[in-house]
Amino acid sequence: MSKPTPLSGFPEWLPPQRMIEQQLLARIARTFELYGFAPLETRAVEPLDQLLRKGETSKEVYVLRRLQDSGGDADLGLHFDLTVPFARFVLENAGRLQFPFRRYQIQKVWRGERPQEGRYREFLQADIDIVDRDTLPFHYDAEMPLVVGDALRGLPIPPVTIMVNNRKVCEGFYRGLGLADPEPVLRAVDKLDKIGPGKVAALLTETAGATDAQAAACLELAAIAAPDASFADRVRALGVTDPLLDEGLDELVRVVDAAAAHSPGLVVADLKIARGLDYYTGTVYETVLAGYESSGSICSGGRYDNLASSGAERFPGVGISIGVSRLLGLLFGRSALTVSRAVPTCVLVALTDEDARPAAGRVAGALRSRGIATEVAPAAAKFGKQIRYAERRGIPFVWFPGADGAADSVKDIRSGEQVDADAAVWQPPAADLLPVVSAAVTAGS
């Protein structure tokens, strides 16, 4: 077989990186569960008409078809996020769910965009959503950033800032300016960080029919940001009035005030946040990692009142998604995370000869039964060689069988300390039981 060519945009972590990923996922899931979110997994494919009706472009969706069937299942595509399939799941199972329904979902999604650092075609997301029947109380919008803040604060990563806005603020302001169709304005403003205010102003005049004065006012609104409710006064000072604008400002103040009481500094009101998908109707969130701001958002979401609806039934929701692969890709790219050892194994049981393998297996079994990850040496060799094997693997302890009726012993190969031990009761230090993930220490830190 010739050497395979790597596929860009489909990350495959090395085992130490995968252990880091698994530990981070476990901590995230635990935080979600502490807030009462139940786990869910949905299918990987959805009908294309469902995938494409809420703002995603066809060029970003992967179509599912069989190799030997040119027609195949071309009406199916791989999901590009977890919100659309979740909305479909709610509609199909509404009679069996208790509302408000709180779920978390950690699953891969696929998106056909240009791969770059931290941005992939296949990636893992960790989502939480709350949906209710008919109406969803607004206090859930304020809860979302608190959950994510707690989840991310429990990880060995730089601090995060969650930027919040409300589409009602934007839409009400645009209507108050005389721009009747807010969608092209939102799409243009959403590109501010990518193309800058000059090009956004040109885009507003070209695609949204804005005058130069209207475009300037839209940019003035987008420039407002504050860690407290003072943003509302700055918006009102712009002199634009509209009932929807007032409603959005009141809601956004509630989100910012709730976050300030729970986690000061976690949330900032940033009125340039728009979110590109059309299904958001109110609060929207984006999150940046300290030191990685230029890489964009690692966590986003918002309120959607009409995504899950069928006939007269409506299931409004609010959700937020952590881009796990995106976050890890950025951190791995700077070697910013480390794990205390490259394998789960805590103990290597040494072999005197191959005849001793059954006895070594019994020792390993006794240790494993108490939650201590153990493997038996791959081959009988001089103990020095077996110790070097453990060192190369990062295994901290080597277990030696007792000779001529003597007790077994275990050696910490880092310190050289060796003590008699019984596999039925011996316990490693708590810090060595499992690999420990931590932020990498860099020179000067």
**Which residues belong to the annotated binding site?**
81-83, 111, 125, 129, 275, 279-280
d(CA 84, CA 53): 10
Cα–Cα distance measured from residue 28 to residue 155, given in angstroms and rounded to the nearest whole number:
8
User: The tokens of 160 are what?
Assistant: 């995060």
Bridge partners for 285 per DSSP: 164, 301
Axis crossing angle, helix 15-34 with helix 324-333, rounded to the nearest 10: 140
The DSSP-derived string for 108-154 is EEE--S--BTTB-SEEEEEEEEEE-SS---THHHHHHHHHHHHHHHT
Distances (CA, A) of 48 to 8, 148, 246: 25, 30, 37
Please name the residues in contact with 37: beta carbons below 8 A apart, sequence gap of 6 or more: 102, 103, 104, 128, 147
Q: CA–CA distance from 189 to each of 104, 194, 196, 210, 253 (Å)? A: 30, 10, 9, 13, 21
Which two tokens mark 426? 């011996």
CA nearest 386: which of 358, 434, 347?
A: 347
Q: Are 284 and 303 in contact (CB under 8 A)?
A: yes
Binding-site residue set for L-histidine? 81-83, 111, 125, 129, 275, 279-280
**Structure-token pair, residue 420:** 């008699």
Separation CA 157–CA 79 (nearest Å): 28
3-class DSSP state for residue 20? helix
**Residue 293, C-beta contacts closer than 8 angstroms, at least 6 positions apart:** none
